Copies of this chain bind each other. A is one copy, B any other.
């Protein structure tokens, strides 16, 4: 027996998993406690409120995506290469943090206005990275001149975000194949 006691990080991680599975409103504090081997009330040794848990998980999701795009944009290369980096980073975030991502994508709207608007801003900033790379690719002649960067970014992000809904860790598609398929599809529709 190593240790049976829970840390705050355990609580947040399990909350992320349960929110992803059953939704924020579909998960009670007693449900969450039971999953950790605790009473619902004991959770309040670690946190101040249920909503704090959602805020924490969603903020982590936002941070993961922004960090990923920051790394992709930090190295230079052609628009096509940078777009592939953005895509690969996004796939990594989804596959390595599936629960956080599901909660970020599906449950953020349950936050109160203040917190939700911060999430919207963060998503807009992230989407802007994709748009910007596409725009540069058009200007540089790498992509067709009549490409609409806004729509193209939305379509690529649609495919990327849908990953959470169908990807299964033990499925027949591994990470590299997924990145390749998405990057190929994106490049094909831009060129």
Contacts and interface: CB of A to CB of B under 8 A. Distances in A.
A23 B158 CA distance: 21
Contacts of A166: 154
B189 A148 contact: no
Contacts of A159: 155, 158-159
Interface in A165-184: 166, 173, 181-182, 184
Tell me the dominant secondary structure on chain A's binding face: helix
Contacts of A188: 188-189
Interface residues on A, range: 20 to 34
A185 interface: yes
A44 to B, nearest CB: 22
A110 interface: yes
A9 interface: no
A114 interface: no
A154 B163 CA distance: 9
A83 to B, nearest CB: 14
A152 B154 CA distance: 17
25 contacts: A22-B110, A23-B23, A23-B25, A23-B110, A24-B26, A25-B25, A25-B26, A26-B110, A148-B181, A151-B173, A151-B181, A154-B162, A154-B166, A155-B159, A155-B181, A157-B162, A159-B159, A161-B162, A162-B162, A184-B189, A185-B189, A186-B189, A188-B188, A188-B189, A189-B189
